[in-house]
Amino acid sequence: MATTMTVARESRAAMTIGALGVVYGDIGTSPLYTMREVFNPEHAVALDPQHLIGAVSVIFWGLMLVVTLKYVILILRADNRGEGGIMALTALASKAAGATPKRRMVLLLVGVFGGSLFYGDSVITPAISVLSAVEGLEVATPAFKPYVLPISIGVLIGLFAVQRLGTGVVGKLFGPVIGLWFVVLATTGLVQITERPEILAALNPLHALGFMREQGLHFFVVLGSIVLAFTGAEALYADLGHFGKRPIQIAWMGLVLPALAINYMGQAALLMRDPSALENPFFRLFPPVLLIPAVVLATVATIIASQAVITGAYSMTKQVIQLGLLPRMHVLYTSEKEIGQIYIPLVNWLLLAAVLLAVLGFGSSSALASAYGIAVTVTMFTTTLLTFFVLRYDWRYPVSFALAATSVFLGLDLVLVIACSLKFLQGGWFPLALGIALFTVMASWRRGRELLLESIGQGDPDLVPFLQALAAEDVKRAQRTAVYAVASPNTVPQALLHNLKHNEVLHERNLILTVVFHDVPWIGEAHRVSVEALAPGFWRVQVNYGFKDTPDIPKALASCRSEKLPIDLFETTYFLSRETIIPTRKAGMARWREGLFAFMSRNAGNVADFLRLPNNCVIELGTRVQI
């Protein structure tokens, strides 16, 4: 018993250390630029003790309300079979509250829009984090200033270039390095606090309220920079499935929150003593002899923070593909042991292009700070909105309780969105435009697939009557198994019709295969396959996956033996239909959206690779379909 408890404690400790690197890298690097932006001269906030205490008090209590109460205490409980993230929450909310197809679709669209904005964060986070770290070289000597941009670009290109190698080995160092980072944050902040202990008054929420009241409507302008301290909070929930609730909570309460609070107060204490430190208050916390090591540590920390959102973009893309919102893409698995470690080349290079555009277009972390925030806060708002439906319809709490638990956070999120929206023209449009463009792509793909299936279903005969009539005919049978992968299990596969027409042959065993991705993260092996006999020599097989499962059709078909359908995989041929989309002027979608869908369909990843079919056993037959 004691041994079991010891192992459990060691496992939880390892998960907690791991959570430090993956979950808290983003929010942990916010001190690099937040205080500098809050007191940016453009905001006209006096750099005096009263305003420094007030601003830090708002940051501290924002961390308590937005991160601790909302995410750590409330939203971490809203798991979808142990998984978190906005797509998992969307699936849970739409399933629980989807009493009507219309409501289900509305909730799905809300969640998809929030998820689309995540990609904006995946672009801005690497750009602003790496730039702000390398800018520390300017503090060491102004001679480095011309090299900040080239060094930052080099670091970012290197970061994206090594993604295909995987993060298994380096990932083990993420936790200890970020743990060291938080210790440094706390230590440097504490040194400054001992010089000006009056900054500890920021722990009193009355100073936050006083700061807000004194600023009036101008507070919204300042809040657009204060929100930089909260970016990365969504990662707590997104990585729930990787580490579990308790390690994430322990890491936050035990190290991350205290270190962040101490560092922000330390920077304010430094600015009390030396207002000229506003040039870069974070790096001015360090004595000159430690400045270069501090820049190196900060750069490594920002690379880790960037790695977390890049990996998150891969995982999000895979989930979205399997929910039917994006076309198939080539997915590489970078670890033989960890199925969650994936690399999607197209996503990687598109992200790199967008990140480099952001770095070159904005030119500095201060300019990028204006672009940061709006996408993150809108995602926070949609997360809280979806949580209400989980509380009300999945957990069955009364309406009054569900409203009470979420309305305060909805109000806070709305205030943050409004504050960040004030910087729309200064750069806030950039991540928002990325999110809207991606949402349009997702909506067009989903609607296009619906129109495609409708069009195919209109021309194909019903499956069961056709097979029953076919079974009565004397058709030559090949002594093999044919698997026809279809989207609709109720109509005759185009590939089967082509096989009969051109080859005039049937196989001894014919499987009408449908792969269904459900709105849950995982499907257990016991529920993986269902088999239904249709006619002599014909079976309908449905293979079920969750949106975080990895499809493997041969492995799934091998389990059909338990359903009294033994299949020799070495004597199996997979027939696939590849549709060529022909846009028309029919009602359905705008012509440009049909053209976009046709383009995506032509360039979609190979379905055989996606389903892990053996290449030497696949036959593809094409057909032209008008939508």
In a domain, 450, yes or no: no
Write the pLDDT tens digit of every residue in 48-86.
999 999 999 999 999 999 999 999 998 888 887 777 888
Q: Mark which of 403, 422, 441 sits at the end of a domain.
A: 422
In a domain, 609, yes or no: yes
CB 588 within 8 A of CB 452: no
Q: Mark which of 401, 422, 443 sits at the end of a domain.
A: 422
Give the confidence band of 336 by pLDDT, cuts at 50, 70, 90. low
Residues 105-123, mean pLDDT to the nearest whole number:
86
Q: Provide the number of structural domains found in the chain.
A: 2
Domain shared by 401 and 355, yes or no: yes
Domain shared by 460 and 410, yes or no: no
Q: Which two tokens stand for residue 210?
A: 């006083």
Domain shared by 461 and 403, yes or no: no
- What is the pLDDT, as a whole number, of residue 5? 43
Q: Lowest mean pLDDT: which of 173-182, 303-312, 327-336? A: 327-336
Residues 205-233, mean pLDDT to the nearest whole number:
92
Write the pLDDT tens digit of every residue in 471-503.
777 777 888 899 998 887 888 887 888 778 777
CB 128 within 8 A of CB 33: yes
List the domain range (segments joined by +) for residue 326: 2-422
- What is the pLDDT, as a whole number, of residue 513? 93
| Mean pLDDT comparison of 17-21, 28-32, 563-567, 590-594, highest-scoring range | 28-32
CB 463 within 8 A of CB 491: yes
Domain shared by 182 and 328, yes or no: yes
The chain-wide mean pLDDT, for the chain, equals 86
Q: Mark which of 422, 437, 467 sits at the end of a domain.
A: 422
DSSP 410-476: HHHHHHHHHHHHTTIIIIIHHHHHHHHHHHHHHHHHHHHHHHHHHHHHHHSPBHHHHHHHHHTS---
Q: Residue 193, SS3?
A: helix
CA distance 604 to 612: 15
In a domain, 441, yes or no: no
Which residue's entry shows tokens 């998150």? 312
Domain shared by 251 and 143, yes or no: yes
Domain shared by 491 and 363, yes or no: no
CA distance 218 to 229: 19
Quote the longest CA-to-CA distance of the chain.
95
Give the confidence band of 1 by pLDDT, cuts at 50, 70, 90. very low
- What is the pLDDT, as a whole number, of residue 495? 80
Domain shared by 417 and 476, yes or no: no
Residue 186: HSE in the Cβ half-sphere, 13 Å Cα cutoff: 12
Domain shared by 384 and 475, yes or no: no
Domain shared by 392 and 485, yes or no: no
Give the confidence band of 338 by pLDDT, cuts at 50, 70, 90. low
Domain shared by 67 and 12, yes or no: yes
- What is the pLDDT, as a whole number, of residue 169? 52
How much of the chain exceeds pLDDT 70, in percent?
95
- What is the pLDDT, as a whole number, of residue 2? 44
Domain shared by 413 and 468, yes or no: no
- The distance of Cα 125 from the centroid of its chain, to the nearest Å, equals 13
Write the pLDDT tens digit of every residue in 504-527.
778 888 999 999 988 788 888 888
Nearest partner of 131 among 263, 280, 24, judged by Cα: 280
The enclosing domain of 398 has a CATH number of: 1.20.1740.10
State the pTM of this model: 0.83
Domain shared by 140 and 12, yes or no: yes
| Alpha helix positions (H), 525-605 | 553-558, 591-602
In a domain, 439, yes or no: no
Which residue's entry shows tokens 């939880």? 12
In a domain, 427, yes or no: no
Sign, CA torsion 558/562/568/573: negative
In a domain, 545, yes or no: yes
Which residue's entry shows tokens 């893409």? 329
In a domain, 447, yes or no: no
Point out which residues pair with 573 in neighbouring strands.
Answer: 482
Phi (first) and psi of residue 15, to 5 degrees: -65, -35
pLDDT at 190 over 80: yes
Other beta carbons within 10 angstroms of residue 481's beta carbon come to 22
Sign, CA torsion 80/81/84/86: negative
In a domain, 451, yes or no: no
- What is the pLDDT, as a whole number, of residue 410? 93
Q: Which two tokens stand for residue 165?
A: 């190698």
Q: Residue 518, SS3?
A: strand
- What is the pLDDT, as a whole number, of residue 459? 65
Greater confidence (528 vs 506) lies with 528
